[in-house]
Structures are given as C-alpha cells and as structure tokens.
Structure 1
Amino acid sequence: MSIGNLSGVGRPLFVTGLWSREGSGAWREENLGWERLDAGESRPISIVANQIEHAGAHGLQLLIALASRWRWRQENFAFTANLTLMVEDAGSDKGPVVNIGGESAGHGNLVYISGKNDTKPDVQRSDEAVQLALVRAEREERRLSLRGLDADNWIPRNAEFIWKDFGEGDAPFNGPIMTQDGMLAAGRSRTRRQGGEGDVRLLVFDADGGLDETASRLISRRHFELYIESDRLILRVTAGSGLRVNGNAYGEGKTVRLADGDVIAPMVSAPDTLCLRVNFRTEHGSARQITLQRLATNRK
C-alpha cells in the first residue's frame, strides 16, 4: 500500500503513527521506517494482517496519525480507512483467493491474489491502485492524546476568550482569537487597541494605583504567547527571564499545555505580584469559553 500527500498548499505532511486491526479487535501498531511526506509525494507502507484461513468477507481497518508543522507549531490528526478482503474458496489443491476492494473505489476493479498460479481465463486482474477514503477519527485522536485536553474534553479553535479585571484597552475584546497568526502576545508592550503590537498588556501597579516601573521592567515586551493547537490551549514562553505556571518555572522557548484552574505568574522572582488565572467553561466536552482573570496584590 502507499500514502500520498495530495494537499494543494505545497507543504509536507508527517505520518507519526500507523495501526491496523481486523473487525473490532485491538489496534496493532505497524512498523513505519519513514515520517516526512512532501507535497505530491507517495511513499509505501506495509500492513501485516492475521492469517486468513476461511472464505468470506474479512474487514481490515487502518488508523493513520498525521501532523502538519510550521516552525515550532504542530497540528495532529487521525484518520481511519476500511479495507474489505473477499476470500474465495479455491479448492483444496490451491491457496485462498483474495479480492481486495476499498470504500469509494468507484472504478470496480479488483486486486486479485492467489495462493498458486491460476490458469482460468476468466479471472479479472488489475494493477490499478484502489483508493481508500480517509475518515476523520476524533475519538481516536483524543484516546491517543493527539488532540484535546483528555479523552472526553477539547477546546475548539473558535473558543471565546473572556478577559476579566484588566485595565481599559489592556486586553482584546471578548471573543475568539482573530489575529493573523492565530496567537495572542502578552507582555509589557502596548496592545493593538492602544496603538502597539501586543494583544495583552501586563504591568505592575503600586498600592496607590500608580505604575511600578521597576517591577514592570521585569516583564518583557513580549513575555509569552497564547494559541489553540490540536484542540488545546498552549502557552509559549518568549521572555528570557521565563515564567511560572502553578509554581513551576519554565524557560524561554518552552511550551505549556494549560488546563482549567492553572495560574500563570509572569515574574519568576515575584510570582505573587501579578498572576493570570485560567478557567474553562465546558459544554458536552467542548470548552467553548476561556476566562483569563488578572490577579494582583496591587491593582490599578
């Protein structure tokens, strides 16, 4: 068999896993010696099925894990395909005859496999590829931890962000992420609403409500980024000084999968000075609303 990258965007895909099973049995992981699949390229795969001993219809199901990558980001997906093996009784002096057909293979051709050479003139043979329809497998994606928060919960790309207890113009309007790169930049920089290049402005204020410039300088202009990837809310650290999530320190370039109730502290050395708390509102497993609340000892 072979897998082809027929995407029209001209970018590679990555095959990160391959499994097979008969009927509703357990998945078997298949050996795959390669990963990258460039645009327009097809590469072979091998599937090992259990020994077929009886005539009749035998179903073989494939599970394929694919990924698209751009810079440090990766979106994971899983697809299934069904293959039907029709086994005919060829008699005791010959091995089984297997006719292979795939779903949506509209041309009607069959791939004929015989245990011994067959001299019958009416046997139809074809070396044309049987195209198999790939079907998105969302449950398998979450079961394999390819996407989602866990096996039952996920964050859709159009989830609504709610900004609570931020100053005027210090956060985007409530709603889904609408930036061109699909990310929200948080840090000391002015927001786009204020004529700057950031999305969420993080500053420290003293007890009188005045700007604490010394403490605010501990926050980088672009301290971290937030984005949704593979049905998860991801934080990526962009500040050289790092930050803390739930008390754990993370350095520049690290990514953190955020969960309901997590607390982000931008200043490693003074984590209680300014924090953001993350909360999810989930409906039928889908976290359609994400609230980020600013928590600070001294608020403006």
Structure 2
Amino acid sequence: MSLTRRQYQLVCSAARKRASQVSYSAAWQALGRQLDLPFEQWLGAGNKLELDRERLSLLCSSVKALYGLDPLFDELEGDRLTLAAKTANEKLAPVAPEQEWVLVRPCGVTLGLPVTEYSLRLPISQALTLITALKLGWVTVVENLDVFDAWQPELAALNDVPGLLLFNGSQQQYSAKGVKALLQACPIPVYAFGDLDPAGLAIAWQLPKIRGFITAHDLASLAHIPHINHSADYDAQHNQAQFLQAQDLGGWQALTQLVLSQRLSIKQQHLLAHQLPLALYSLCSSAAYDTLRCSVGSDKV
C-alpha cells in the first residue's frame, strides 16, 4: 500500500492549519498503518485524532522519511517527471501522462510525410498550432480507436475543407481529459462521430462545443437492417439512458428520443461495415429538433 493523493492532502491540511483535531476516517486509519504511527493512542472523544505540535511534527517527518515529501511545503503539482524529482511515488502527480496530449489525424491535407496512413500524438498546444497552420475547417471527435484509424470522411459538410479527426480517448487509451481541454480552446467547429446508442450520445453530449453528431443518413430504416442493432447492449446502458432523460437536451432531443424509443445500440463499426451513407446532424440549438423530426418521420420520434 502506498500514500494516496488524498491522504497527502489530509496531512498537508492538518499540518498547515495546525489542526488540534481531525476525524479518524478510513483514510487516516490507512495512513496510520502505512506510517506505523500509534493513531489509536491519539484518539479522543467523538472518534477524533488529537493533534498537538509534537504529533504534527512526527506526522510530517514520517511522511517525509518514507515518501520524500514535506507536507508543510511540497505541493503535488505538475506531471510525473516533475514529481519524480521529489518522491519515489511519481504517480501522486495530478497530471497523468496522457492528459496534455491528444491523438489526431488530419484529413484532406498532406503533411509531406513518406507514408500515406498515419496519426499524430501531439501536445494540446501543438495540435492547436496544427489547426491554425493547416487552415483546418473542422474537428470531429471519433469515439472508437479502430474507426478513428480507418474512417475516411465522405460527407459534403466536411469535405469542403480539410479537417482533423480527434480520438476521444478512454481509460485505457489516451486521455478524454486531453480531448476536452483541446475542444475548450478549439477555434473551429467541432462535431462528434460516435455509437448511435445512449452511451455514444451521452459521451458526445458532454464534450465541449459540439455542434453536430454524425450518424446514418437514413435513420428511419436502421431498426429494420438485420444484425445491426445490439439490443442486449442497449439494455446494459440503462444508466446512460437515464442520464440523457434527465438533461435539457435542446437540439439533441429528437436524436436521443429516436434512440430511446427504438432501443437502438448501433456501433460506428456497423455503420461503416454496412457502408451506410452518413450525415451530419446539426445539434447546436433547439431549432434542430424540427429538422431532425422531419428527417426521421414524426411517428419515429
């Protein structure tokens, strides 16, 4: 067991405030075991740890001896390389390795590289520089990595100008935090291409500055295509469906209602494998609701 960021922050707070008492929480109990300090002997009334100057000093010196960090002065700042100069536990750093990087793929423009297929892992600042330098007209966030690698956009709304595909990231691959940071600073229109299911819509809806969602052009016929809709997967997305129903979705309302009413869970991979024409649905305002209703038929919404 190792020191957690939360435990270190608790010690910092107590030491810097010269707290006379702290609640003997599970985090403090685990900390006592790690530091081999007799916290049970420090207990007072109301399950409070009684702290005086001597105990606070012992607490800080124990943390410093084991982890190299002085709770009175050292902050958990920066990335792991920065924190590695202070402590053996570099994972205490608040900035994860992928958090300031994104995976992108330019479309409709060449970088003069001796390869035809490539993607670039870039710091957020350099990705923004690339957008400006190449005079790109759009960014599209792609939910799944295999689709990000293979998809060649063929939408008139996108092909008029070159743009940038941006992998959304996941807990295992790249960083969703980095994606959100890039989008917050993005100077050009941003769209999303995701799974047509509650999870896919929820992911896209929570991204900053999303103006539209890319999915099948003929929405009304999707439920009738054999072996494309994964109903069991839709059932597993109950929490995401509830989340969407609790939001003021504005222009996203019609597309969400279509997915929920027809119990759709259609993945990006199936849209591409079935070679279904795609369309960009503008979702930036509630006015988009009527347009989308007309495109799918009012009896389908």
TM-score, normalised to structure 2's length? 0.28
TM-score, normalised to structure 1's length? 0.28
Higher RCO (CA 8 Å, separation ≥ 6 residues): 2
More helix by share: 2
